[in-house]
Structure 1
Amino acid sequence: MKWRSTRTSSNVEDRRGMSSGSSFNNNGGLLKLILPLILRLITTKKGLIIVAIVLGVLYFTGNNPLHLLTGNSSNQIENTTYKGSANENKLAEHSKRVLKSTEDVWNKLLNNYREPTLVLFTNTVSSTCGSASSATGPFYCPGDDKLYIDLSFFQEMASRLNAPGDFAQAYVIAHEVGHHIQNIMGTTTKMQKLRGQISQKEYNKLSVKLELQADFFAGVWAHHSQNMDLILEKGDLEEALNAAFAIGDDRLQKQASGRVVPDSFTHGTSAQRMHWFKKGFDTGDLQQGDTFNANSL
């Protein structure tokens, strides 16, 4: 990929090196829970001492007390104590540029677009959707409008899945942003309401359609980003399609166990994922992405 500017997104939380419980950035949720207690404590001398001790402990354990008191309204959290490798830091900068590109495209395509936040983490992370480990892979949480990525996943893509390349990495980020688009459109809420009302087999089928639509939206982003900024270099499109192939349910199951169980698919086959990303890239038309009512791929 080539960038015509060095702009990076400001909607980034760098939690690399932090424990999953060390960030208080939950849109002020924690503040709402403890504010009544704080107000009661500061009315007495003894209470003030307790509050001062607690804030001191937070500070000396690496947590900014202001984040607790303000609900951390700023999207930009920079972990100044973590020193990643040169390659990891390069991946972080690349991810921020990709996110900025998605912001440019979706602000153009959607009125009043609500920009998501990218959370970079290592090992484990906490979100409104619960705790997760690096083994979960990149994911989007509709409860807090954030996409979570352990950058080691990109290294795993290259080494274990044989899907290297900066545009392959961009496809992964754009796919998670695609889930954010679904959340904005209300598709995610409709899916959540169906959980428990239909069989697991039927829910899996809908989950596949949801994931394929996110692939389509990733393709739409690539289409418009190319038109706006000419980001593609020779071989970039092939990198994304190879990544889509590498993470197809059928291929992953075959690698893991030597057998394929279609009823357990949740993301779609390699062919399906490649098809819908390519369709989004070729058309750039949001109206072409109704995977839920498509009769074939």
Structure 2
Amino acid sequence: MKWQGRRGSRNIEDRRRAGGGVRGGKAVGGVGGVGLLAIVVIGYFLGVDVTPLLEGAGGITSSSQTVEITQADEQAAQFVSVTLADTEEIWTEVFDSQLGGEYIPPILVLYKGVTQSPCGSASGATGPFYCPGDQKVYLDTAFFTTMSRQLGAGGDFAQAYVVAHEVAHHVQNELGILGQANAYRAKASQADSNAVSVMIELQADCFSGIWAKMADEKFGSVEHGDIREALNAAKQIGDDTLQRNAGRVPQPHTFTHGTAEQRQRWFATGYKTGAVEACDTFSADRL
């Protein structure tokens, strides 16, 4: 992905030097080694905050110590800033040309270790997420290393896909989709709530595909192999893939983000069409 030397976003809230969590301690109660890794991996993309489990196992403890910001952290921050700036320009254009409205971009919170949000604590266990309570995206810069080493989803465009996916949730919020869907989920059965959650996430994948298509057309940032990186990331974070990698038999009724095939297909739909109307997962005959 071609991103160096381009404009960064001003909508970054950097909390990395404000202190964070310190990993350490020995796991107890049988949660350690592969078991601990499985909990973390599941937590990243299933929307489950497993921080209490890790804290109880000595995995993460609160600390007011100043965290070390490495060169890799700084490069990740610059990369995120440029990617966020790209989403701002693209969604401003999409809102104007396709939706006849004004796009108000989100703030992206960079942190390292642990921080707080209106949606709960953010840590390496929660992974990147969008909080509609304050309309901010939360991202631990160390997450990109986890993507590559533990989830098998390496590459800078895979990282950009993650940023674009979380921004897509803000797009849903701006359009009123997220509020309506979550209001329904609050009253629905667990099974129906999970089904709507899958629709939300697959639409965000589709919106991410729109971003990828327009980023290539507007900035010429997509290089050979980039789309494969994004599709591989979508595959690796499919609910079925994550459950298999955690040593479990996939349980479709528990899926909250969609299968690997679904996530790849909806990203591809957005990328091929570039049209918001093509991303209506809520009315689709087939998810």
TM-score (norm 2): 0.80
CA contact (8 A) 1:163 1:242 kept: yes
CA contact (8 A) 1:249 1:266 kept: yes
Alignment of 1:13 with 2:13, yes or no, is yes
Counterpart for residue 3 of structure 1: 3
Counterpart for residue 117 of structure 2: 127
Alignment of 1:169 with 2:159, yes or no, is yes
Counterpart for residue 234 of structure 1: 224
CA deviations on 1:178-236 (whole Å, 9 max, x unpaired) are 00000001111112211342110011000000000000000001111111111011110
Higher alpha-carbon deviation: 169-178 or 149-158:
149-158
Q: What SS does structure 1 have at the residue aligned with 2:188?
A: coil
Counterpart for residue 107 of structure 1: 92
**Residue pairs, 1:252-291, within 5 angstroms:** 252-291=242-281
Q: Find the aligned partners of 1:119 and 1:258 in 2 and give their Cα distance.
A: 33
CA contact (8 A) 2:11 2:106 kept: yes
Residue 266 of structure 1 deviates from its aligned partner by: 0.2
Q: Find the aligned partners of 2:173 and 2:202 in 1 and give their Cα distance.
A: 15
Residue 16 of structure 1 deviates from its aligned partner by: 0.9
Name the larger-Rg structure. 1
Q: Find the aligned partners of 1:196 and 1:245 in 2 and give their Cα distance.
A: 28
Q: What SS does structure 2 have at the residue aligned with 1:108?
A: helix
Structure 1 unmatched ranges of 5 or more:
22-80
Residue 247 of structure 1 deviates from its aligned partner by: 0.2
Q: Find the aligned partners of 1:114 and 1:135 in 2 and give their Cα distance.
A: 29
Alignment of 1:215 with 2:200, yes or no, is no
Higher alpha-carbon deviation: 3-12 or 97-106:
3-12
CA contact (8 A) 2:185 2:193 kept: yes
CA contact (8 A) 2:113 2:124 kept: yes
Higher alpha-carbon deviation: 172-181 or 2-11:
2-11
Counterpart for residue 92 of structure 1: 77
Residue 131 of structure 1 deviates from its aligned partner by: 1.7
Alignment of 1:138 with 2:124, yes or no, is no
- Distance of aligned partners of 1:143 and 1:196 in 2 relative to their CA distance in 1, 3 Å threshold: closer
Aligned partner letter, 2:8: T
Q: Find the aligned partners of 2:221 and 2:204 in 1 and give their Cα distance.
A: 21
Residue 88 of structure 1 deviates from its aligned partner by: 1.6
- Distance of aligned partners of 1:82 and 1:198 in 2 relative to their CA distance in 1, 3 Å threshold: closer
**Count, aligned residues:** 239
CA deviations on 1:131-168 (whole Å, 9 max, x unpaired) are 22221010000111110001111101100111100000
Q: Find the aligned partners of 2:231 and 2:73 in 1 and give their Cα distance.
A: 23
Q: What SS does structure 2 have at the residue aligned with 1:267?
A: coil
Aligned partner letter, 1:133: S
Q: What SS does structure 2 have at the residue aligned with 1:132?
A: strand
Q: Find the aligned partners of 2:94 and 2:188 in 1 and give their Cα distance.
A: 34
- Distance of aligned partners of 1:109 and 1:117 in 2 relative to their CA distance in 1, 3 Å threshold: same
Q: Find the aligned partners of 1:117 and 1:20 in 2 and give their Cα distance.
A: 20
Question: Which segments of structure 1 move beyond 3 Å, counting only runs of 4 or more?
Answer: none
